Amino acid sequence: MLVSRRRDSTEGRQPVSDVRKLRYEDQRDTYIEALKLGGKQSLYRRNTESDQVEYTFRGLDNFDKFFKGMSASLITTDKIRDYIRWRQREGNSDPTIRRQLVHLRAMFKLAHKEQKLFTMPYFPMPKDSEAAGQYIDPAKFAELLEHLPANLHAFFKFLYHTGCRLGAAKQITWPMVSKDGTVIEVPAGIMKAHRPLTIVLAGHGLEPVAAELRKLFRRNDDAIFIR
């Protein structure tokens, strides 16, 4: 035991006895702190009856109920399968359970990275949902435009040719657009990845959008498309 302790210390690893003391709640709290420091959107606040702010994420309440007080070493692949079966009996769909388990797996990856765990279990993941929507070829898109009011053409051309998310596109305002209407500087605050994005309105598909923007009247912080 002494030799093992010395070896662990030399290699910078947690002693086995400390690993056995690591519980689900320890992993959960460390993971939440990491999400808070990283400003991740997957972590959000909720108010409690005592007006205290709590942080939560998808599946946290279920994890707290199922793994309460459990040693990390006991959260094995078989135990994860038990969790999946429990959520299925409770009516959760497989894609929902999969999105919950992404967080549990991230907890273990973080503990392993911080050398609080020597190994981590294999995570059997339920089947995900099919990809939403389908590709629309240019000819079909042109046909759809003919059935839309003319004042919406620029908006849908912008979405089609840039792949910009609908929510972000609706928040683009005039201060983000260059004077000649050819460049849009989208701030990090409205981007899903929390990184700013420069969109150049050039090429066959986006030049008509720039031309349309040049015709419009700029008004303070109004959205450029939704009026």
Structure-token pair, residue 186 = 């989208």
Read off the amino acid at residue 45.
R
In 3D, which of 140, 134, 67 has the Cα closest to residue 100?
A: 67
Q: What tens digit of pLDDT does each residue of 5-35 get?
A: 566 556 555 554 455 689 999 999 999 999 8
- The pLDDT score that the predictor gives to residue 222 is 86
- The pLDDT score that the predictor gives to residue 194 is 74
- The pLDDT score that the predictor gives to residue 16 is 45
To the nearest 10 degrees (0 to 180), the angle between helices 94-113 and 77-89 is: 150
- The pLDDT score that the predictor gives to residue 77 is 96
Domain ranges of the chain: 2-113, 138-215
In 3D, which of 227, 217, 226, 224 has the Cα closest to residue 184?
A: 224
Tell me the C-alpha to C-alpha distance, in Å, between residue 3 and each of 10, 15, 16: 11, 11, 12
- The pLDDT score that the predictor gives to residue 5 is 58
Read off the amino acid at residue 157.
K
> What pTM, to 2 d.p., does this model score?
0.56
Q: What is the 3-state secondary structure (H, E, C) of 165-214?
A: CHHHHHCCEHHHECCCCCEEEECHHHCCCCCCEEEECCHHHHHHHHHHHH
Backbone angles phi, psi at 173, to 5 degrees: -115, 170
34-38, 85-89, 176-180, 221-225 — most confident range: 85-89
Read off the amino acid at residue 116.
K
8 A C-beta contact, residue 105 and residue 113: no
Q: How far apart are CA 147 and CA 150, in angstroms?
A: 9
Mean pLDDT within 186-192: 83
Q: How far apart are CA 32 and CA 37, in angstroms?
A: 9
Instruction: Specify the 3-state DSSP secondary structure of 221.
Output: coil
Q: What tens digit of pLDDT does each residue of 118-140 get?
A: 889 999 999 886 666 677 889 99
